A and B are shown apart, each in its own frame.
Chain A
Amino acid sequence: MEEKLRHIMSESFKVSLNQITEETKVETIETWDSLNHILMVLALEREFKITFAPEEIIGMVSFEEVVGVLKQKLQTSGIR
């Protein structure tokens, strides 16, 4: 799941894969803006067949946070 996430973040933010690490935060990627954030969210929803609530969307401000929200969503929806 985390590897898929890295790929999606890399494509959404138009940065190389090695720039996406566990330490990645919205402050560390210049292209992680509102538009690319939505692109990432939509790609995650498509990939994992889930839907994020608006409050979850604005809370996903780092790789770690995205993983946390994703795991929670996948557990709730029964997907692993």
Chain B
Amino acid sequence: MKLLQSIIVPHEIVNDEFVTVIQCHYKSGDRVKEGDALVLIETSKMTEELYAGCGGYVYYRCQADAEIKVGERILEIYEQPVSSASVPPQKIPEKNEAPSNGGEAVFSQSALRLIEELNMSKDLFKGRDLVGTEDVRSFQLQPGPTVSDQLESAENIEFQKISPYKKREIEYLNDVQSSHLSNTVSMLVEVGSCLAELNRVSKFFRNSLLLIVLSKLPSLLKEYPELNAFYKAGSVGFYENTALGLAVNFGDGLRVLKLPETGEKSITDVEVLVFDMIKRYMGKKLTSKDVAGVTFTVTDLSKEGIHFFAPLIPKGQSAILGISAIDEKLQRCILSLSFDHRVTDGRKASEFLRKLKKRIEGR
């Protein structure tokens, strides 16, 4: 049984730790040709087909809806058909699944005796790995049902599993926020001097600072490398280049589209770039290169009438800029910058916003 190719979930397409298998296009044991699309996977940013690099017999080590860790083997291609015993199906564990023993806890003898004495149910320890007497005693001391227990047992609540895509989104946004060291600063921008001109130039992004912000950011980020960076395991990684991302949500979840270089470009040129990217996204023409490698994200909720919000910092970045709605009466708008305090601080973030404000106001 000659193994011709192993396909793993490639690191280069995602920042995520896990991807979701949407569809296996063949059955294990089917014959495939070089270039055949074998499996469709979904990351937090996009869907991606993985193709056969050679012809042969495909054997999947996953199934639809499974979550696969990036770097793990997803399928193999053999020269000849092989027996299923030779290629044992690999069980891909759910991320939060209890390990090893099929979800059943292992009890010490003394813990079992104590459980019996206290007339407790072993089911109370489901999902735990090892249970000792200390675990049993601490459980006994716990006060009545928790809020979580009450919610789970409530009869008038319908639970729906979140989609695999939403799971990716949570993972994408949880990375920095879970440090509890992110913060947001905001600043009022007077738009009276620039709004009329912006609305004259762009008919489709009326009453929004998005295009002017995108045109001003690249040069400003060069002055603030800590905002074009990310924190990882006690170190800060600084990106050499700036790649702006535009967060969009067209009803199918959050996506961050990587924009081509927008610095030193006119508002019209930036509008062309933004439209081109959105059109390719909506026409499902984006490739992994179009979404990977964003170093700083901008999110624009001005159409939603939001006057202020604190955007969540994406994984692999140290800051994100939020654009709120323009108050047409007062001719002003709030820009908010969420930043990772492990990488920078409030003073730097405020200074960055103040400079951006001046550049937008033309001062």
Instruction: Write the A3-34 contact mask toward B (1 if CB under 8 angstroms, else 0).
Output: 00000000000000000000000110000111
Contacts of A42 in B (CB 8 A): 279, 282-283
Q: Please report the C-alpha to C-alpha distance between residue A58 and residue B201 in the assembled complex, in whole angstroms.
A: 10
Of A33, A45, A54, the contact of B204 (CB 8 Å cutoff) = A33
- Beta-carbon nearest neighbor of B278 in chain A: A38
Interface residues on A, range: 10 to 19
CB–CB A54/B272 < 8 A? yes
**Distance A45 CA – B279 CA, assembled complex (angstroms):** 11
Chain B residue with minimal CB distance to A57?
B275
Closest to B300 in A: A34
Assess A26 versus B276: contact at CB under 8 Å? Given A33-B303, A35-B250: no
Contact between A34 and B205, CB atoms less than 8 A apart: yes
Known A-B contacts A42-B283, A55-B272; the reply to A61 vs B203 at CB < 8 A is: yes
Complex contacts, A45 vs chain B, CB 8 Å: 283
B279→A57 contact, CB < 8 A: yes
Q: Which of B's residues lie within 8 Å of A, judged by CB?
A: 202-205, 250, 268, 271-276, 278-279, 282-283, 303
Inter-chain contacts of A27 with B (CB < 8 A): 203
Q: Which of B250, B276, B282, B303 contacts A54 (CB 8 A)?
A: B276
Contact residue among B204, B268, B273, B282 (Cβ-Cβ distance under 8 Å from A39): B282
Q: A54, B275: Cβ atoms under 8 Å?
A: yes
- A14 to nearest B CB, angstroms? 13
The docked-state distance in angstroms from the alpha carbon of A35 to that of B248 is 10
Q: Of all chain B residues, which has the CB nearest A62?
A: B203
Q: Please, which residues of chain A bring their CB within 8 A of the CB of B204? A: 26, 32-34, 37, 58, 61
